[in-house]
């Protein structure tokens, strides 16, 4: 029984040790890691009423022997492309975001119906920039930015916690030498009542998962004995609000799913399920007129009902249009564009027309030192004379690449420290050149519009060849070879075996 005595002794030793509830606490061997965090912060003790020190309350200012620190807020297209291009030999890189991965949004609609697996469109940040998980001064924090003090070069953050049994949100501060705001945007609801409560957006992986679960649940519930005809039609009515690329591609994927999978595996309800796409103006308004007409004809042929109207109210099981028409639904997907988020509105920084963070030609935020902004949350200030760029992935990616090169150049010129870039030549300003737009409309058909602007001239294609170009382009744009392999295998297995309809 020697092993039992040893076990009880070992257990008693660990039980006797005081527990540390500090989420940033690490064991003694990691003293190098802990030295990066500020040592104490005053917090009132509930028992004595006095201020008690709480260790490791954040990242303090960088020391002379340390690399300058770049803090990136956000993990979208802009932030991740920036981190990928930053040189970890020059900077310590700290990312603050409520998600630890980047989403390849152009293929997100395909995950809702099982064409692709969810992990195929998500790339971990640690793979995009390995220094975050390897370098002693680089970190990723699962948190939201709550405020920015540009004078002190500090960012206030609060951890993101989910679930029933979880830690309370933990507030901490990060000092920066260079700050990049890449917080993206939020879906626009135009103040319409009930959208947040009853509709599902399509911008994150968890949105796609929720859409998939609800869609499959409605399919199975509609087949239960005793369900009325009216209720069955409501459950199987999928409504998409917004005729932009995301709404059109989701409608196309859904129509493919209905024609090729639902009618084979849910034969009892195959005649009840249908899709309605509601748009206030023209679908795919940024595309060529000929391509818009083709998309309209193709979607109609695939069984998608197109409705021109404005949503006035969203209720639990129906939406009401401005003309009084009531549209019952079982699944409601909201895709009407994006606008500045609440945190962007709250920041005391210059703003561009439309409420985005104002930037100059070099993506700097005017009137504050060492702050840059890229992606959907930023726009040129009026003094630059440049129009606000569209909220597109290619804009964000191009800005991230440009700023990474600029910051590397600044770091090599000894301008990486706070308040040290006044005499450095930034070089050529950022210039955006539109490469074109693509959208899938289902049934192995797609649109490719290579014009640089809506009024410009250029190549535009529609049909099967465009669909092949669409898939080839997105396959090459997927960030890693791992995910390219996942996507290719998913496409192949879907083509051979059909979509997976398991509700997991």
Q: Give the mean pLDDT of the chain.
A: 87
Longest dimension (CA), the chain: 85
CA distances from 163 to 97, 140, 160, 321, 336 (A): 18, 21, 11, 36, 30
Query: What pLDDT score was predicted for residue 7?
Result: 41
Q: Where are the beta strands (DSSP E) in 108-168?
A: 122-124, 139-149, 154-159
Tokens of 383: 């003094």
**pLDDT for the residue numbered 202:** 95
pLDDT at 219: 92
Integer Cα distance of 490 and 499 in angstroms: 9
- Residue 218's SS3 state is helix
Tell me if 95 sits within 8 A of 139, measured CB to CB.
yes
pLDDT of 11: 41
User: Are 400 and 80 within 8 A, CB to CB?
Assistant: yes
Return d(Cα 327, Cα 306) in angstroms, integer: 13
Q: How far apart are CA 370 and CA 160, in angstroms?
A: 26
Asked if the model's pLDDT at residue 277 lies above 70, the reply is yes
185 CB neighbour count, 10 Å cutoff: 20
pTM for this model (two decimals)? 0.87
Six-digit token string for 53: 């020190």
Give the mean pLDDT of 317-344.
95
Whole-number percent of the chain with pLDDT over 90: 73
d(CA 197, CA 177) in angstroms, rounded, equals: 40
Q: What is the mean pLDDT of residues 3-22?
A: 42
Q: Which two tokens stand for residue 447?
A: 């649109």
Contacts with 480 (C-beta within 8 Å, 6 or more apart), sequence order: 123, 127, 128
194-250 pLDDT, tens digit per residue, is 999 999 999 999 999 999 999 999 999 998 998 999 999 999 999 999 999 999 999
pLDDT > 70: what percent of the chain?
Answer: 88
d(CA 498, CA 504): 17
Whether the per-residue pLDDT at 319 is higher than 90: the answer is yes
Report pLDDT for 48. 43
Separation CA 483–CA 98 (nearest Å): 22
- What does the radius of gyration of the chain's CA atoms come to, in whole angstroms? 26
pLDDT at 430 over 80: yes
pLDDT band at 263 (very low <50, low <70, confident <90, very high): confident
Residue identified by tokens 């947040």 is 196
Residue 373 has pLDDT above 70, yes or no: yes
Q: Is the pLDDT of residue 459 over 90?
A: no
Burial annotation 404-415 (CB, 10 A radius, 16+ → b, else e): bebbbbbbeeeb
Which helix H or strand E contains 98, and what residues bound it? none
Q: Name beta bridge partners: 92.
A: 69
Is residue 165 very low, low, confident or very high in pLDDT (cuts 50, 70, 90)?
A: low
| Cα→Cα distances 153→18, 355, 423, Å | 36, 23, 20
| Contact by Cβ (8 Å): 23, 159 | yes
∠ CA 36-41-46, nearest 5°, is 140
Q: Among 52-56, 141-145, 298-302, 385-389, whose mean pLDDT is lowest?
A: 52-56
Residue 354 phi, psi (nearest 5): 100, -5
Look up residue 311 and give its two tokens: 């949503």
**158, 152, 33, 139: which is closest to 83 by C-alpha?**
139
**In 17-135, which residue ranges form alpha helices assigned H by DSSP?**
31-34, 77-85, 108-112, 125-128, 131-134
pLDDT at 503: 79
pLDDT number for residue 265: 85
What burial class does residue 243 get, using C-beta atoms within 10 Å of its C-beta: 0-12 exposed, 13-18 middle, 19+ buried?
buried
Q: How many CB atoms lie within 10 A of CB 322?
A: 11
> How long a stretch of residues is the chain?
504
């Amino acid at each position: 029984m020697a092993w039992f005595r040893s076990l009880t002794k070992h257990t008693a030793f660990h039980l006797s040790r005081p527990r540390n509830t500090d989420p940033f606490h690490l064991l003694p061997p990691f003293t190098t890691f802990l030295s990066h965090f500020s040592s104490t912060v005053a917090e009132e003790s509930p028992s004595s009423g006095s201020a008690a020190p709480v260790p490791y309350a954040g990242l303090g200012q960088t020391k002379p022997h340390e690399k300058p620190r770049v803090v990136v807020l956000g993990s979208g297209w802009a932030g991740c492309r920036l981190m990928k291009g930053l040189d970890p030999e020059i900077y310590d890189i700290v990312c603050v975001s409520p998600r630890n991965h980047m989403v390849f949004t152009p293929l997100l609609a395909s995950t809702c119906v099982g064409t692709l697996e969810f992990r195929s469109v998500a790339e971990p940040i640690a793979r995009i920039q390995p220094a975050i998980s390897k370098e002693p001064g680089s970190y990723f924090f699962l948190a939201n930015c709550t405020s920015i003090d540009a004078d002190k070069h500090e960012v206030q953050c609060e951890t993101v916690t989910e679930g029933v049994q979880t830690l309370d949100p933990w507030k901490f501060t990060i000092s920066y030498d260079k700050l990049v705001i890449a917080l993206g945007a939020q879906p626009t609801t135009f103040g319409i009542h009930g959208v947040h409560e009853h509709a599902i957006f399509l911008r994150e992986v968890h949105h796609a998962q929720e859409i998939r679960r609800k869609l499959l649940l409605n399919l199975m519930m509609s087949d239960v004995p005793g369900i009325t005809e009216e209720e069955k039609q409501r459950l199987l009515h999928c409504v998409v609000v917004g005729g932009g690329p995301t709404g059109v591609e989701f409608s196309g994927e859904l129509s493919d799913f209905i024609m090729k999978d639902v009618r084979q595996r849910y034969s009892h309800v195959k005649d009840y399920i249908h899709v309605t796409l509601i748009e206030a103006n023209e679908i795919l308004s940024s595309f060529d007129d000929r391509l818009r007409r083709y998309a309209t004809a193709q979607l109609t042929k695939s069984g998608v009902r197109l409705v021109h109207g404005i949503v006035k109210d969203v209720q639990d099981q129906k939406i009401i249009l401005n003309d009084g028409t009531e549209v019952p639904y079982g699944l409601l997907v909201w895709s009407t564009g994006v606008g500045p988020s609440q945190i962007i509105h709250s920041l005391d920084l210059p703003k561009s027309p439309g409420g985005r963070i104002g930037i100059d030609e070099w993506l700097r935020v005017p009137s504050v030192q060492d702050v840059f902004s890229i992606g959907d949350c930023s726009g040129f200030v009026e003094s630059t004379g440049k129009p606000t760029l569209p909220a597109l992935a290619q804009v964000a990616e191009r800005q991230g690449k440009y700023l990474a090169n600029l910051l590397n150049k600044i770091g090599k010129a000894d301008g990486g420290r706070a308040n040290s870039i006044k005499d450095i030549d930034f070089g050529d300003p950022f210039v955006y050149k539109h490469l074109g737009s693509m959208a899938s409309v289902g049934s192995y058909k797609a649109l490719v519009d290579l014009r640089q602007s809506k009024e410009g001239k250029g190549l535009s294609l529609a049909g099967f060849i465009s669909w092949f170009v669409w898939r080839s382009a997105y396959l090459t744009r997927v960030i890693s070879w791992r995910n390219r392999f996942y996507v290719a295998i998913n496409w192949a297995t879907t083509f051979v075996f059909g979509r997976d309809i398991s509700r997991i």
